[in-house]
Amino acid sequence: MAIGRRFIIVGLGASAGALVAGGVFAKLNQGKSNPTQANNTPDSNPQTPSTTQPTQIAANTSGQPLLRFAAVADTGTGDRGQYAVAEAMAATYKQKAYPLVILGGDNIYNDGEIEKIKAVFEDPYAPLLNQGVKFHAVLGNHDIRTKNGADQLAYAPFHMPTRYYTFRTGANDAVQFFAIDTNVNAPWQEQLAWLDKSLAASDAPWKIVVGHHPIYSSGHYGNTAEFIRDLSPLFKKYNVQLYLCGHDHDYERSLPIKGTTYIVHGGGANTRPVGKSATTAYSAAERSFVLLEVYADKIVTEAIDTKGQVFDRGTIALKST
């Protein structure tokens, strides 16, 4: 089926902003894929779902990581919720410094107006920005409501050279990120071809894809069947170990699904209820961000709340090609 030819509009109230790409553009809060179907089941012998209780952040005893970075999404409110998460990120930085933040879309509410950038980005994250921490962003559905996100693409501190892009970082360039545009007006066929080619060309041991909308989720919008169809085969083919996203305003870490772990980190300012499914390792309706440490053989993930407490830890083992 040709992608990008037919559209089904997604509404949030009167809004037409919550739109996603992927074949036929399906409603994110309808048409949820059944996570118990064979093609959606977790890997055999999956990791045990986390029962970690909130604890103070402990030092990692595995030596220095190749890369440490944070991920957060759905941030751009400028309200107390955003500041609470931002303050926790700054406090964590003092304990475990990290050079990079992945900003997973809906960077400016409600309509992506760049005039709000000081209130929703520069001020909340000033402690990190002043330390030289770089933010790499993707566009969310709210971000494209003004000028199709053009102002954010031109905003240098977001480090978005185009609507979708890739970059390598970490010791020995061990980690390659592939940032994609999951919005309805993305050139989806062109983007899929680019992602296929870029993943094929990468010899990075760690490949991480970042988008705004979920692929697997137990939150408000649920699974996105079209993304499962279009993206999951590429992730399996090219050993993508991790997909990071927001849009659902919660935290959820999946069990490995055909070798890929899916983390929703959309609690960057406010939250909605989240459930659990057969693919869920841990989920919580917490204002939070994720700290990730990449080692030669694993990624250690920590979900951190506004009190600076770790409420979920996970480990992603390196997949061999």
For the chain, the structural domain boundaries read: 65-317
What per-residue confidence (pLDDT) applies to 43?
Answer: 67
Cβ burial of 31 (10 Å; 0-12, 13-18, 19+) is middle
What per-residue confidence (pLDDT) applies to 61?
Answer: 42
* DSSP labels, 152-203: HHH-GGG--SSSSEEEEESGGG-EEEEE---STTS-HHHHHHHHHHHHHH--
> Please, are residues 254 and 217 in contact by the beta-carbon 8 Å criterion?
no
What per-residue confidence (pLDDT) applies to 237?
Answer: 97
Mean pLDDT, all residues of the chain: 86
For residues 110-132, give the mean pLDDT.
Answer: 98
Per mean pLDDT, which range of 8-17, 43-52, 103-112 is the poorest? 8-17
Residue that has been written with the tokens 């926790």 in this structure = 88
Q: Which of 271 and 5 is assigned the larger pLDDT? A: 271
Tell me the C-alpha distance between 51 and 292, whole Å: 19
Report the candidate in 272, 265, 261, 268 with the shortest Cα–Cα distance to residue 236.
261
Q: How many CB atoms lie within 10 A of CB 106?
A: 28
What per-residue confidence (pLDDT) applies to 41?
Answer: 57
Q: What amino acid is encoded at 297 in this protein?
A: D
What per-residue confidence (pLDDT) applies to 21?
Answer: 36
For residues 292-310, give the mean pLDDT.
Answer: 98
What per-residue confidence (pLDDT) applies to 319?
Answer: 78
Token pair, residue 168, equals 């390598």
E strand or H helix that includes residue 232: helix 225-237
Tell me the C-alpha distance between 303 and 274, whole Å: 15
In this prediction the pTM is 0.84
Report the candidate in 201, 269, 266, 190 with the shortest Cα–Cα distance to residue 230.
190
What per-residue confidence (pLDDT) applies to 256?
Answer: 97
Beta strands across the sheet bearing 175-179: 165-169, 175-179, 206-210, 242-245, 261-265, 251-254, 280-284
Q: 81 Cβ partners below 8 Å, 6+ apart? A: 269, 270, 287
Q: What CATH fold (topology level) applies to the domain 65-317?
A: Purple Acid Phosphatase; chain A, domain 2 (3.60.21)
Beta strands across the sheet bearing 288-294: 55-56, 309-317, 298-305, 288-294, 67-72, 100-103, 134-137
For residues 121-140, give the mean pLDDT.
Answer: 98
How confident is the model over 172-224, as pLDDT tens digits? 999 999 999 999 999 999 999 999 999 999 999 999 999 999 999 999 999 99
Tell me the C-alpha distance between 317 and 191, whole Å: 28
DSSP state of 109: T
> Please, are residues 140 and 212 in contact by the beta-carbon 8 Å criterion?
yes
Q: How many CB atoms lie within 10 A of CB 236?
A: 14
How confident is the model over 14-38, as pLDDT tens digits? 333 333 333 333 333 333 333 333 3
How confident is the model over 66-89, as pLDDT tens digits? 999 999 999 999 999 999 999 999
For residues 283-312, give the mean pLDDT.
Answer: 98
